[in-house]
Amino acid sequence: MTDRYCVFGNPIKHSKSPLIHGEFASQTHQAMSYTAELAPVEGFADAWRAFIADGGRGANVTVPFKGDAFALCDTLSHRAKRAQAVNTLIVGGNGRTYGDTTDGIGLVRDLAYHRVPLAGKRVLVIGAGGAVRGVLEPLLAEQPSEVVIVNRTAEKAEQLAQAFADLGNIQGGGLASIDGQFDLVINGTSASLSGELPPLPETLFAKGAWAYDMMYGSEPTVFLQWAGPRGAKLLDGLGMLVEQAAESFFLWRNVRPETASVRTLLRQSLNY
């Protein structure tokens, strides 16, 4: 019998998740299908219940439903509670819904894949939305010397820093509060999708620093285009997408897929 999985989103046609999980299933010989499902903006919970009723075993959740998924879960992982968002749903043996988030693990594993050091390093994170909240716990677990969150609305960044202050040295403020140089700068905003770039200091990057954009595409993002000439080594979010998917796959199937070949396939599919 083939187990059913999917990714819910709105919009969702662009999703690479069916390609990724199809490759994972093939390489690990899992009897499963994985589709992209468009859910109504105001009807996510009904879409999930209908999917379960039709034999669904689990799902990924993307924009704009991670908060909705968090709200409908019967049980949550510790990291999902911290993130206040869910990107992975699992149907338990009793029919109850378990929620987890794998975004932060995906980011940290992608950084490790590219041998980006985190321990003892100074990290700047731009943005204070759900994408950033979801990665802070795993990021702080790598023991950077400091994580600084900056946002156009300083209060949001300050509140986020306070919420995670028990996990490490973390500060929050407005874009104008950026001080000094950083070893890693992560763009966690969606500004790249609209071709926008927040105002950033020209001297942002320390020697040997990395610039990481959680977004990805067929061309380098605006943030990466800006960071390259200023001395940073560049990474986009494609690897994070693959690694968070691999963690979701492991939670569903208890098998850990190999990711390097899927990274290559996905990059080729973008012609980038």
Question: What CATH number corresponds to the domain at position 133?
Answer: 3.40.50.720
Rounded percentage of the chain residues whose pLDDT exceeds 90: 88
Cα 31 from Cα 50, distance rounded (Å): 21
Its pTM stands at 0.93
Secondary structure (3-state) at 10: coil
Amino acid at 36: A
- 185 and 215 assigned to the same domain: yes
Q: Is residue 244 annotated as involved in ligand binding?
A: yes
Q: How many domains does the chain have?
A: 2
> Both ends of the chain: CA-CA distance in Å?
37
Q: Is residue 237 annotated as involved in ligand binding?
A: yes
Q: Is residue 58 annotated as involved in ligand binding?
A: no
Digit-coded pLDDT (tens) for 239-259: 999 999 999 999 999 999 999
Mean pLDDT of all residues belonging to the chain = 94
Measured CA distances, 89 to 8, 79, 236 (Å): 10, 13, 26
Q: Is residue 152 annotated as involved in ligand binding?
A: yes
Annotated catalytic residue 66: yes
CATH number at residue 261: 3.40.50.10860
Nearest in space to 90 (alpha carbons), one of 133, 57, 124: 57
- 126 and 84 assigned to the same domain: no
Among 13, 66, 81, 207, the active-site one is 66
Q: Is residue 101 annotated as involved in ligand binding?
A: no
Nearest in space to 226 (alpha carbons), one of 208, 207, 199: 199
- 211 and 164 assigned to the same domain: yes
pLDDT at 272 over 80: no
- 95 and 55 assigned to the same domain: yes
- Predicted confidence at residue 217, as pLDDT, reads 86
Cα 213 from Cα 4, distance rounded (Å): 32
Q: Is residue 151 annotated as involved in ligand binding?
A: yes
pLDDT at 139 over 80: yes
Here the tokens at position 246 are 């691999």
- Prior bond to 11 cis, omega within 30? yes
- 7 and 94 assigned to the same domain: yes
Q: Is residue 156 annotated as involved in ligand binding?
A: yes
- 96 and 172 assigned to the same domain: no
- 73 and 183 assigned to the same domain: no
Here the tokens at position 130 are 């759900």
Q: Is residue 17 annotated as involved in ligand binding?
A: yes
- 248 and 201 assigned to the same domain: no
Query: What are the residues facing 149 on neighbouring strands?
Result: 125, 172
- 160 and 212 assigned to the same domain: yes
Check: CB of residue 103 under 8 Å from CB of residue 56. no
CA angle 252, 256, 215 (to 5 degrees): 85
Domain that holds residue 149: 104-236
Check: CB of residue 204 under 8 Å from CB of residue 182. yes
- 228 and 243 assigned to the same domain: no
- 225 and 115 assigned to the same domain: yes
- 69 and 192 assigned to the same domain: no
Digit-coded pLDDT (tens) for 108-127: 999 999 999 999 999 999 99
Higher pLDDT, 1 or 105: 105
Cα 238 from Cα 184, distance rounded (Å): 17
Strand order in the sheet with 32-38: 32-38, 3-9, 56-61, 88-91, 97-100, 75-76
